[in-house]
C-alpha cells in the first residue's frame, strides 16, 4: 500500500505511471518557475517608473523638437500673412549674393518697372510689372518671317501682356526690343505716330534664337517653332510673404508626395534652392525630433526587458491561465499553439466550456484578448495580436463515448453527469432569486447610460454569479458620440451588482460579460489599434494600447503610418545589420529607397541601435537628402527646358507624386497580405476541425 502511495507521489505528470516523462516534467516546471521569475522582474521594473518624462536623452530631443516645431510653424505663418515685413526682399536679396543660392543674385524689382519674357507654347510672351495705373502702350519690335522689321502695339492701363506668334518670327538670331510708352496725353494717337506723340517710360532689348525643331513625342510628330531666350536677366527677389506662401505649398507637396515632389514643384516655380532646403529640412527635423522620441518610448525596450520566444510563450500561457475563471472555460494547454513573427503574434486557444458557462465564443475571445493586450501594454509588446478560440467540448464527447460490441457505452460514466448537473439543480432557487434581484440593478444601469437591452442572461452556482448582457446605445451617431467602452460598462455593472446583491452573494464572485451590439470608437480604443483583413485575407489583429495622449495619437492618427514604416523597416533590417551607421545614412539619403527620416528611425529601432546613433544618422541622411534635391531640382527643370520638354514638367511632378502614392499603398497592401495570409495558414493548420 505504501509503495503504491510512493509511486503515486512520484507520478508528477499525472499520466498514471512513473517514467522518464516525470523527470522531464521536473525540468519543465523548473523552467516555468525561472521564466515566471524573469517576467515578474520585468513587469515590476516597467511598472515601477511610469513617468512620461524621465529626463533621458530622448526627452531632451523631444523638447527640442517641440520648440523647433513651434518656431518653424510660427515663422512660416508669420511670413505668409505678411504681418511683419511682408513686402521686404532683404532676406532673399542678401542670401542670393552668397553660395547658398546657385541661381545667381536676384534684384529688387519692387516699385521698378520690369519685364518677363518667356516662351509659351511656341509663342513669345511678354508681360510688364509695376507699370503705373495710367494709359500705356507696349511696343514690341522684332523681325518677321520675311526678314522685315515690324512693330506690334498693345494698349491698356497699367501692366500689359502680349503674345507674338512664333510662326511670324524670323528663323535665326535677332534682337527683340520692348518699349512701354505713356500715352495719357494723347490716347487716340494711331500706331504709326504713337512713338512721336508719347513719352517712353521703359525699354529693354532681349536676344533670342528661333529655329524649327522636329519633335516625335508619344502623341504628336512634326516640326515646331523653338524659341530660345539667350538672356532673361536676373530673377526677381521673393518677398518675405512670397517665401511664406511657398513654404506652405512646399510642405503640402512634401506631405502628399514626398520630398521629390516638393522640390520639383518649387524648382519649376523659381523658388530659391536655399528656401526649399530649409523648408524640407525643417519638416524633417519636426517629424524626426518629435515622432522618433515618441516611437522610441513606445517601441524601445532595454536589453533585459526585450522578451525572447520562451518568455513570450510563457507570458501568454500564464495570462490565459488567469483568464480561465472569468471566461468560465478550461483551456487545453497541450493543444494550445502560438506563432511568433516579426510583424505579429498568432495564438490558437482550444477550450472546454464549464458546465455553468453562459459565455459565447465572441465573449470568451473578448475576455482573453482584453487580458492579453493589457499585459502586452505593460511589457511593451507592440506587435499585432491575432487570437482564435475554438471549443473542443463536442469533439471530446465524440472521442470519449464509444458504443461497445455488447451495445454498452464505453467511456461513459453516469456519475459525471450527476456531478456536472447537481450544482445546477441545487442552485435553481437561488438563481431565480438572484435573477429577480439583479434585473432592477441592470435596468438602472441601462437607464443611466441610455442603453437598450438586447439580451441579458443571469446564472449562478455556489462559486459565482454570471451575467451576460448585450446592449445597444440609443444615442444618435453612437459610433462617434458614445463615450464608454464595454470594459467600463462591465466594471460599472459589476460594482452595482456587488452592492445590490450583497445579501445574496454569500461569498460568490460576480462575473460580468458585456457586449455592445454596435461597435463604437470607444470599444475600438480598448485596443491601441485594430487592423482588419481584406476580402482575400480575413482576420482581425489588435495592438496593445499605449497610455497617454501621445500613445493614443500615435496609434490612431498615426497608426497607419507607423505600421507601414515598421513594415518597411523590418524588410530592410538585414541591410542595416550589415552596414550599420553608414548604411542607415545612405538609406535615408537615397531617394525612393526609403520614405524619409521616419523609416530610418524605425529601422534603427528595429535593429536595436543606440538612440543617439540613430538620431545622428537620420539627421545627416535627411539633411543630405533635402540639400541634394533642393539644389538639383532647378537643374532638372532647366535641363528639361533646354531640350524643350518643359511641357512635361507638370507630368513629371505628377509622376513622382503617383510613384510615391502607389509605393506607400503597395507597402500597406503587402504588409496586410503578409500579416493575415501567414496567420490564416497557421490557424488552418492548427484548427481542430
| Contact in structure between 153 and 116 (CB atoms under 8 Å) | no
Q: Distance between alpha carbon 102 and the CA centroid of its chain, in Å?
A: 36
Q: What letter would DSSP give residue 411? A: T
Digit-coded pLDDT (tens) for 650-677? 666 667 667 666 666 776 777 777 777 7
Higher pLDDT, 14 or 313: 313
- Whether the CB-CB separation of 659 and 256 falls below 8 Å is answered with no
**pTM (two decimals):** 0.56
DSSP 545: P
CB 588 within 8 A of CB 597: yes
Which stretch, 47-51, 162-166, 275-279, 641-645, has highest mean pLDDT? 275-279
From CA 558, how far away is CA 572, in angstroms rounded?
Answer: 21
Distances (CA, A) of 446 to 358, 366, 435, 465: 21, 21, 16, 19
The pLDDT tens digits of the residues spanning 190-211 come to: 777 777 778 888 888 888 888 7
Mean of per-residue pLDDT scores for the chain: 75
Contact of 600 with 584, CB cutoff 8 Å: yes
How does residue 515 score in pLDDT terms, banded at 50, 70 and 90? confident
- pLDDT, position 525: 47
Please check the confidence at residue 436 and state whether its pLDDT lies above 60.
Answer: yes
pLDDT band per the 50, 70, 90 thresholds, residue 7: very low
Q: Which of 231, 278, 32 is nearest to 115 (CA)?
A: 231
Q: What percent of the chain has pLDDT over 90?
A: 4
Output DSSP code: residue 238: P
Q: What does the alpha-carbon distance between residue 238 and residue 378 come to, in Å, rounded to a whole number?
A: 53
Q: Judge whether residue 614 has pLDDT over 70.
A: yes
For residue 355, the SS3 value is coil
Once rounded to an integer, what is the mean pLDDT over residues 458-471?
Answer: 79
Looking at residues 503-530, what average pLDDT do you find?
69
Topology of domain 114-229, per CATH?
Immunoglobulin-like (2.60.40)
The residue with greater pLDDT, 610 or 358, is 610
Q: What is the pLDDT of residue 317?
A: 92
pLDDT by residue (tens digit) across 54-103? 677 888 888 999 999 999 999 999 988 888 877 788 888 888 888 888 77
Q: What residues are paired with 155 via a beta bridge?
A: 137
Choose among 398, 345, 681, 403: nearest CA to 538: 681
* Cell numbers describing residue 20: 522518464
571 Cβ contact list (under 8 Å, min separation 6): none
Residue found under cell 497592401: 669
Query: Which of 24-38, 222-236, 239-253, 429-443 shows the lowest mean pLDDT across its residues?
Result: 222-236
**More confident site: 246 or 542:** 246
Kindly provide the residue ranges of all beta strands, DSSP E only, lying in 423-463, ordered along the sequence. Answer: 451-460
* Rounded distance between C-alpha atoms, residue 631 and residue 396, angstroms: 72
pLDDT above 60: residue 548:
no
Q: What angle do CA 230, 235, 240 make, to 5 degrees?
A: 170
DSSP-assigned letter for residue 166 = G
Cα–Cα distance for residue pair 384/212, rounded to 1 Å: 63
Mean pLDDT of 205-223: 66
3-state SS class at 121: coil
**Cα gap 670→219, rounded to integer Å:** 35
pLDDT, residue 75, reads 92
Listed in sequence order, the DSSP H helices in 269-382 are 273-299, 309-327, 361-379
Residue 481 CB neighbour total at 10 angstroms: 12
Give the model's pLDDT for residue 520. 55
Segments making up each domain of the chain, as ranges: 1-48, 52-104+238-306+558-689, 114-229, 413-526
CA nearest neighbour of 275 among 449, 537, 75, 424 = 75
> Which pLDDT score, from 0 to 100, does residue 472 have?
85
The DSSP line for 613-654 is HHHHHHHHHHHHHHHHHHHHHHHHHHHHHHTT-GGGHHHHHH
pLDDT at 228: 73
CB atoms within 10 A of CB 158: 13
Measured over the CA atoms of residue 542, residue 545, residue 551 and residue 557, the dihedral's sign is positive
End-to-end CA distance of the chain: 45
pLDDT digits (tens, 9 = 90+) for 351-384: 988 876 777 787 788 888 888 888 888 887 878 8
Q: With cut-offs at 50, 70 and 90, classify the pLDDT of residue 425.
A: low
User: Across the strands, what pairs with 127?
Assistant: 116, 161
pLDDT over 50 at 401, yes or no: no
Select the highest-mean-pLDDT range: 409-423, 426-440, 592-606.
426-440
pLDDT beyond 50 at 218: no
The packing angle between helices 611-642 and 649-686, to 10°, is 140
Average of per-residue pLDDT across 598-624:
80
pLDDT band at 20 (very low <50, low <70, confident <90, very high): low
Whether the Cβ atoms of residue 683 and residue 388 lie closer than 8 Å to each other: yes
317 or 430, which is more confident: 317
pLDDT at 197: 73
| From 22-26, 35-39, 139-143, 374-378, the region with the lowest mean pLDDT | 22-26
- pLDDT classification of 550: cutoffs 50, 70, 90: low
Report d(CA 288, CA 341) in Å as an integer: 27
Q: Is 333 exposed, middle or buried (0-12, 13-18, 19+ CB in 10 A)?
A: exposed
At the topology level of CATH, where does 413-526 sit? GMP Synthetase; Chain A, domain 3 (3.30.300)
Between CA 404 and CA 410 the distance in angstroms is 6
Of 300 and 612, more confident:
612
Of residues 316 and 366, more confidently modeled: 316
Average pLDDT over residues 135-148: 82
pLDDT confidence of 576, banded at 50, 70, 90?
low
Amino acid at each position: 500500500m505504501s509503495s503504491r502511495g510512493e509511486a503515486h507521489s512520484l507520478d508528477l505528470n499525472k499520466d498514471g505511471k512513473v517514467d522518464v516523462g516525470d523527470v522531464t516534467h521536473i525540468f519543465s516546471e523548473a523552467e516555468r518557475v525561472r521564466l515566471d521569475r524573469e517576467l515578474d522582474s520585468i513587469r515590476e521594473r516597467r511598472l515601477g517608473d511610469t513617468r512620461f518624462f524621465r529626463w533621458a536623452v530622448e526627452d531632451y530631443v523631444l523638447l527640442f523638437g517641440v520648440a523647433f516645431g513651434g518656431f518653424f510653424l510660427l515663422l512660416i505663418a508669420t511670413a505668409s500673412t505678411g504681418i511683419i515685413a511682408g513686402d521686404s526682399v532683404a532676406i532673399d536679396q542678401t542670401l542670393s549674393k552668397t553660395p547658398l543660392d546657385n541661381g545667381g543674385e536676384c534684384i529688387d524689382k519692387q516699385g521698378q518697372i520690369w519685364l518677363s519674357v518667356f516662351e509659351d507654347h511656341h509663342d513669345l510672351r511678354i508681360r510688364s510689372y509695376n507699370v503705373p495705373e495710367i494709359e500705356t502702350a507696349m511696343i514690341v519690335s522684332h523681325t518677321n518671317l520675311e526678314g522685315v522689321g515690324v512693330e506690334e502695339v498693345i494698349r491698356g492701363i497699367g501692366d500689359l501682356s502680349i503674345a507674338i506668334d512664333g510662326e511670324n518670327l524670323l528663323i535665326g538670331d535677332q534682337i527683340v526690343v520692348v518699349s512701354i510708352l505713356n500715352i495719357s496725353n494723347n490716347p487716340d494717337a494711331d500706331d504709326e505716330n504713337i512713338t512721336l506723340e508719347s513719352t517712353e517710360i521703359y525699354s529693354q532689348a532681349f536676344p533670342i534664337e528661333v529655329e524649327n525643331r522636329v519633335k516625335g513625342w508619344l502623341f504628336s510628330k512634326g516640326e515646331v517653332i523653338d524659341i530660345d531666350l539667350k538672356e532673361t536677366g536676373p530673377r526677381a527677389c521673393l518677398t518675405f510673404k512670397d517665401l511664406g506662401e511657398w513654404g506652405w505649398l512646399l510642405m503640402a507637396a512634401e506631405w502628399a508626395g514626398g520630398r521629390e515632389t516638393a522640390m520639383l514643384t518649387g524648382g519649376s516655380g523659381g523658388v530659391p534652392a536655399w528656401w526649399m532646403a530649409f523648408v524640407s529640412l525643417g519638416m524633417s527635423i519636426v517629424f524626426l525630433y518629435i515622432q522618433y522620441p515618441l516611437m522610441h518610448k513606445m517601441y524601445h525596450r532595454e536589453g533585459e526587458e526585450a522578451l525572447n520566444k520562451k518568455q513570450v510563450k510563457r507570458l501568454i500561457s500564464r495570462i490565459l491561465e488567469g483568464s480561465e475563471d472569468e471566461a468560465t472555460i478550461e483551456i487545453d494547454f497541450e493543444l494550445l499553439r502560438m506563432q511568433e513573427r516579426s510583424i505579429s503574434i498568432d495564438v490558437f486557444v482550444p477550450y472546454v466550456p464549464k458546465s455553468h458557462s453562459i459565455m459565447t465564443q465572441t465573449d470568451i475571445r473578448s475576455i482573453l484578448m482584453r487580458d492579453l493586450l493589457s499585459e502586452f501594454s505593460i511589457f511593451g509588446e507592440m506587435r499585432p495580436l491575432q487570437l482564435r478560440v475554438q471549443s473542443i467540448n463536442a469533439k471530446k464527447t465524440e472521442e470519449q463515448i464509444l458504443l461497445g460490441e455488447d451495445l454498452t457505452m464505453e467511456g461513459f460514466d453516469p456519475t459525471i453527469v450527476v456531478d456536472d448537473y447537481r450544482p445546477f439543480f441545487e442552485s435553481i432557487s437561488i438563481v431565480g432569486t438572484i435573477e429577480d434581484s439583479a434585473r432592477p440593478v441592470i435596468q438602472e444601469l441601462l437607464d443611466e447610460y441610455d442603453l437598450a437591452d438586447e439580451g441579458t442572461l443571469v446564472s449562478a452556482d455556489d462559486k459565482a454569479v454570471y451575467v451576460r448582457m448585450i446592449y445597444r446605445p440609443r444615442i444618435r451617431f453612437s459610433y462617434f458620440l458614445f463615450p464608454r467602452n464595454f470594459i467600463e460598462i462591465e466594471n460599472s455593472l459589476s460594482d452595482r451588482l456587488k452592492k445590490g446583491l450583497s445579501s445574496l452573494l454569500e461569498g460568490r464572485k460576480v462575473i460580468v460579460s458585456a457586449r455592445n451590439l454596435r461597435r463604437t470608437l470607444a470599444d475600438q480604443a480598448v485596443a491601441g489599434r485594430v487592423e482588419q483583413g481584406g476580402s482575400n485575407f480575413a482576420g482581425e489583429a489588435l495592438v496593445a494600447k499605449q497610455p497617454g495622449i501621445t500613445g493614443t495619437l500615435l496609434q490612431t492618427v498615426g497608426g497607419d503610418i507607423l505600421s507601414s514604416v515598421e513594415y518597411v523597416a523590418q524588410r530592410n533590417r538585414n541591410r542595416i545589420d550589415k552596414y550599420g551607421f553608414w548604411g542607415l545614412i545612405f538609406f535615408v539619403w537615397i531617394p525612393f529607397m526609403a520614405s524619409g527620416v521616419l523609416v530610418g528611425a524605425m529601422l534603427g529601432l528595429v535593429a536595436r541601435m543606440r538612440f543617439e546613433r540613430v538620431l545622428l544618422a537620420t539627421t545627416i541622411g535627411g539633411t543630405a537628402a533635402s540639400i541634394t534635391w533642393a539644389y538639383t531640382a532647378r537643374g532638372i527643370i532647366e535641363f528639361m527646358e533646354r531640350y524643350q520638354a518643359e511641357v512635361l514638367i507638370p507630368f513629371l511632378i505628377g509622376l513622382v507624386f503617383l510613384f510615391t502614392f502607389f509605393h506607400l499603398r503597395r507597402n500597406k497592401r503587402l504588409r496586410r497580405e503578409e500579416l493575415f495570409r501567414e496567420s490564416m495558414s497557421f490557424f488552418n493548420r492548427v484548427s481542430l476541425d
